[in-house]
């Protein structure tokens, strides 16, 4: 097999993606914007520096590759150039973007090659759980995705992307209701949410919108998608003094734990695990491995739930699942 390019290989999530590819004995090309950092960290691999504003360098980075995984945010700057470069090289594209507008634009593209945006914790797991719950159904009245994070120590990339979109939205918030994205100035609302044990009841912020409000309705006919975040984790994110994630094990994961709790028209499923950034790696790598192996349910541009067998994919991840 030709190697898989990881663009953003020196970033926090990109490092997890490279490590996951190596763990699965898949050949890797480490790419990104910082040549010195690439050599320092991944000098034993095929290293290919490339700038997103230089199409020729991107073409060289992706030349003779099998696929590309984009882990370099903010994705408003990297997604379109990398998708275009992948198209020129005739290879599949997968990213771990959680930027709602970028996900929307990516999923609206036309392509005869596989393009899978938001193949990550946000946008991926909720979509897969929802699709698994619905089975053969493609319609639902309302989808609720609640994130029970023990804490949230954001990476520099998360903070940078958050600032970009806060400024571009002029501080407005976004939700998916009545079958469309809506921008609004309504104040945040707090609610109580009962997560599966041992998390139990937690205070959450309602309409804490994440990429699921784009990925789920991209292939399912739903009127409303609402996402929720534990109040403590949201507080960590909003606090400028919250430090970046710190590794506590040999895999580089933090001590953060999570549960994703999905409710769809009276049905319920959940998935729990450790470290939201680390879990994005097997999601993205699993997507590429299935695409290259012909294990897809859709062609062209699609989200996780549309592209893959949701139940099989979930069971292959390092998660504790509760599926009906």
**Structure confidence by residue, pLDDT tens digits, 276-296:** 999 999 999 999 999 999 999
List phi, psi (to 5°) of 238.
-75, -15
4-119+280-313 and 122-276 have identical folds: no
Q: How many angstroms from the chain centroid is the CA of residue 86?
A: 19
Where does the pLDDT of residue 100 fall: very low under 50, low under 70, confident under 90, or very high at 90 and above?
very high
State the average pLDDT over residues 98-113. 97
Q: Which CATH class is domain 122-276?
A: alpha beta
pLDDT digits over 16-32, tens only?
Answer: 999 999 999 999 999 99
| Domain coordinates in residue numbering, the chain | 4-119+280-313, 122-276
Question: 173-216 pLDDT, tens per residue?
Answer: 999 999 999 999 999 999 999 999 999 999 999 999 999 999 99
pTM across the whole model:
0.97
- Is 90 exceeded by the pLDDT of residue 223? yes
pLDDT band at residue 311 using 50, 70 and 90 as cut-offs: very high
| 288-312: average pLDDT | 97
Q: What is the mean pLDDT of residues 168-177?
A: 94
pLDDT at residue number 1: 82
- What is the CATH code of the structural domain delimited by 4-119+280-313? 3.40.50.720
Share of the chain above pLDDT 90, in %: 98
């Amino acid at each position: 097999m030709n190697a898989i390019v990881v663009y953003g290989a020196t970033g926090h999530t990109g490092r997890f993606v490279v490590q996951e590819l190596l763990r699965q004995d898949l050949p890797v090309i480490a790419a990104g914007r910082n040549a010195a950092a690439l050599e320092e960290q991944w000098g034993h691999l095929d290293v290919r520096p490339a700038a997103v504003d230089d199409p020729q360098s991107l073409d060289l980075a992706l030349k003779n590759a099998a696929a590309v995984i984009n882990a370099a945010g903010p994705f408003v700057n990297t997604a379109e150039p990398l998708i275009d470069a992948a198209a020129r090289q005739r290879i599949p594209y997968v990213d771990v973007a959680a930027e709602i507008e970028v996900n929307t634009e990516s999923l609206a593209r036309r392509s005869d090659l596989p393009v899978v945006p938001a193949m990550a914790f946000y946008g991926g797991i909720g979509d897969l759980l929802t699709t698994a719950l619905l089975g053969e159904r493609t319609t639902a009245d309302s989808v609720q995705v609640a994130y029970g994070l023990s804490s949230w120590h954001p990476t520099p990339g998360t903070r940078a992307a958050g600032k970009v979109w806060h400024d571009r939205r002029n501080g407005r918030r976004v939700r998916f209701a009545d079958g469309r994205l809506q921008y609004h100035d309504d104040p945040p609302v707090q609610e109580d949410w009962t997560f599966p044990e041992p998390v139990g009841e937690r205070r959450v912020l309602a309409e804490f919108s994440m990429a699921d409000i784009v990925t789920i309705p991209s292939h399912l006919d739903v009127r409303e998608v609402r996402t929720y975040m534990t109040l403590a984790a949201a507080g960590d994110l909003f606090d400028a003094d919250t430090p970046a994630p710190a590794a506590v094990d040999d895999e580089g994961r933090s001590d953060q734990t999570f549960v994703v709790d999905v409710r769809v028209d009276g049905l319920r499923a959940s998935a729990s695990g450790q470290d939201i950034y680390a879990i994005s790696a097997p999601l993205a790598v699993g997507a590429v491995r299935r695409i290259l192996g012909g294990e897809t349910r859709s062609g062209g541009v699609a989200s996780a739930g549309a592209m893959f067998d949701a139940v099989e994919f979930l069971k292959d991840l390092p998660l504790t699942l509760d599926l009906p």
